[in-house]
Amino acid sequence: METGPVARDGRADQDDSASPILHVDMDAFFASVELADHPGLRGRPMIVGGQERGVVLAATYEARAFGVTSGMPMALARVRCPAAVVLPPRQDVYRRVSRRVMAILADVTPVMQQISVDEAFLDVSGARRRLGPPREIGAAVRARIRDELGLAASVGVAPTMFVAKIASTRAKPDGMLVVPADHAVDFLHGLDVSALWGVGESTRGRLAEVGIRTVAELAHTPVASLRARLGVAAAARLHDLSWGRDPRRVTPTRTERSISSEHTFARDTADAAELTRVMLGQAHTCARRLREAGLLARGVSIKVRMSDFTTLTRSRRLDAPSDLAREVYRAAVALLSGVAIPAGGVRLVGVRADDLVPAAGTALQGHLGEDDSAQRALENVLDDVGRRFPGAATVAASLLGGGSGGRSGGRSGGTVGAPGPAPGGAAEAGSPSTATPDTPATTTSARRRLR
Q: From the DSSP assignment, how many helices (H) and strands (E) are in the chain? A: 16, 15
DSSP letters of 204-240?
HHHHHTTT--BHHHHHTS-HHHHHHHH-HHHHHHHHH
Closest Cα partner for 176 from 14, 13, 22, 9?
Answer: 9
Q: Would you call 229 exposed, middle or buried from its count of C-beta atoms within 10 A (0-12, 13-18, 19+)? A: middle
Give dist(CA 131, CA 433) in Å, integer: 57
Residues 6 or more apart in contact with residue 29 via CB below 8 angstroms: 58, 94, 98, 117, 118, 151
For 76, the enclosing helix (H) or strand (E) is: helix 74-80
- The answer to whether residue 62 is catalytic is no
CA separation, residue 60 to residues 31, 87, 184, 351, 424 (Å): 6, 12, 31, 28, 44
Active-site entry in 34, 119, 327, 379: 119
Give dist(CA 310, CA 301) in Å, integer: 17
Give dist(CA 378, CA 347) in Å, integer: 32
Cβ-based neighbour number of residue 318 at 10 Å: 18
Sign of CA dihedral 141, 146, 147, 150: positive
Beta bridge partners of 118: none
Give dist(CA 313, CA 293) in Å, integer: 25
Cβ-based neighbour number of residue 16 at 10 Å: 23
Give dist(CA 75, CA 172) in Å, integer: 27
SS3 state at 334: helix
CB 41, CB 34: distance < 8 Å: yes
SS3 state at 150: coil
Beta bridge partners of 119: 25, 116
| DSSP structural state of residue 418 | P
> What does DSSP say about strands 46-49 and 295-306: parallel, antiparallel, or unpaired?
unpaired
- Active-site positions? 119
